[in-house]
């Protein structure tokens, strides 16, 4: 059984004139009952019509409480 945890996120240093902002998420994948751990970086796109603060709050809660991503 695999579980994925969020370790950190980075906001871009330079904003491009587009309808979205790409955030880099650092995730950790834990599998085989915690014996193996893999870290990976992925991109998550948030569009301008979405509330970015709700994403920040959710990500901070996941990092602080070490909750798995679903």
Residue-wise DSSP of 1-56: --EEEEEEEE--SS--SSSEEEEEEEEEEEETTTTEEEEEEEEEEEETTS-HHHHH
pLDDT band at 58 (very low <50, low <70, confident <90, very high): very high
16 has a pLDDT exceeding 90: no
The pLDDT, as a whole number, for residue 17 is 83
- C-alpha 27/C-alpha 7 separation (Å) is 5
33 has a pLDDT exceeding 90: no
pTM comes to: 0.84
């Amino acid at each position: 059984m695999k579980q994925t945890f969020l370790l950190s996120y980075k906001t871009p240093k330079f904003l491009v004139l587009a309808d979205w902002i790409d955030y880099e998420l650092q995730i950790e994948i834990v599998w085989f009952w915690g014996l193996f751990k893999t870290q990976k970086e992925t991109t998550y796109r948030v569009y301008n019509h979405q509330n970015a603060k709700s994403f920040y709050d959710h990500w901070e809660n996941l990092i602080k409480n070490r909750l798995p991503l679903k």
